[in-house]
Amino acid sequence: MTTEDMTTALGRPSPVNPIRRRTLTSQVTEQLRDGIHRGVFLPGTQLHETELAERLGVSRGPVRESLQRLIQEGLLASQPHRGVFVPVLSEDDVVDVFFAREAVEAAAFRRVITARASAELLDALRRVVDDMATAAEDDNWWGVADLDLSFHRMVVEAAGSHRLNRMFDTLVSETRLCLNMYADLEPDRMDLLPEHRGLVDLIAGADLPTALTTLRQHFDEAVVTLRRRLRQSATADGGTQQRKR
């Protein structure tokens, strides 16, 4: 008797269809997640289940499951009696995201530096910073944002804590929403490159106190930039509304 026959005999459904559904849902989720990350779906955009199913050429089931996954990740928000939207982050949201990230990443930096970072990790981090420089020269700010998160993920993963990784993963999606607010411009965030190079040097030199202070300053600078963008956007929207009156 095959595994499929045995499964049927026991009165349980064959595992083939659920696997296919999960795979399709994962593909839909990845497309929607990437669309949010890349600004295809802008903050405030409502995502309609039926419309997405038609655009993606799938049934509504995988789309419904994908939307629920992205709500759990924090990339989408469900508003009762209204629908599902890409969140519009407030200044308080931005501050809180980076407050939480600092707590998680300070723990990772502490463990990595205390245990003496490996040469492999340091080389990998330096390569990421070099790639960031190339992306910045090409005005590829989406790429800079991707590499920024890759840099920090490497340090967290090097700490060797599954729980810390899970906490970081929870914060990554909202960080993406934050970074997308300046991923297409910010020449004044060219300081991202020396900041990351400085962090690598501090990790290599095992200077924990200075590394933690620099990490805090690194996030503080990000918050200042993002809050400025939010205020500029609010001012621009206000001006547009005034002209429409």
Please report which helix (H) or strand (E) contains residue 79, including its range: strand 77-79
CB atoms within 10 A of CB 160: 12
One-letter amino acid identity for 68?
Q
Distance (Å, whole) CA 109 – CA 82 = 42
Residue 162 contacts by C-beta under 8 Å, 6 or more apart in sequence?
A: none
Per-residue pLDDT tens listing for the chain (245 residues): 444 444 444 455 445 445 444 579 999 999 999 888 877 888 889 999 999 999 999 999 999 999 999 998 888 999 998 999 998 888 899 999 999 999 999 999 999 999 999 999 999 999 999 999 999 888 887 888 889 999 999 999 999 999 999 999 889 888 888 776 655 544 455 678 899 999 999 999 999 999 999 999 999 988 988 888 788 766 655 554 445 44
Q: Which CATH number fits domain 91-231: 3.90.420.10, 1.10.3720.10, 1.20.120.530, 3.30.365.10?
A: 1.20.120.530
Residue 125 contacts by C-beta under 8 Å, 6 or more apart in sequence?
A: 151, 154, 155, 196, 199, 200, 203
Q: Which CATH number fits domain 3-85: 1.10.10.10, 3.40.309.10, 1.10.20.60, 1.10.1740.10?
A: 1.10.10.10
pLDDT of residue 8: 44
Edge-first strand listing for the sheet containing 83-85: 46-47, 83-85, 77-79
Write out the two tokens for 146: 């991707």
The single residue listed with the structure tokens 């920090």 is: 152
pLDDT of residue 181: 62
The model's pTM is: 0.76
Task: Give the start-to-end residue ranges of the domains of the chain.
Answer: 3-85, 91-231
pLDDT tens per residue, range 14-40? 454 454 445 799 999 999 998 888 778
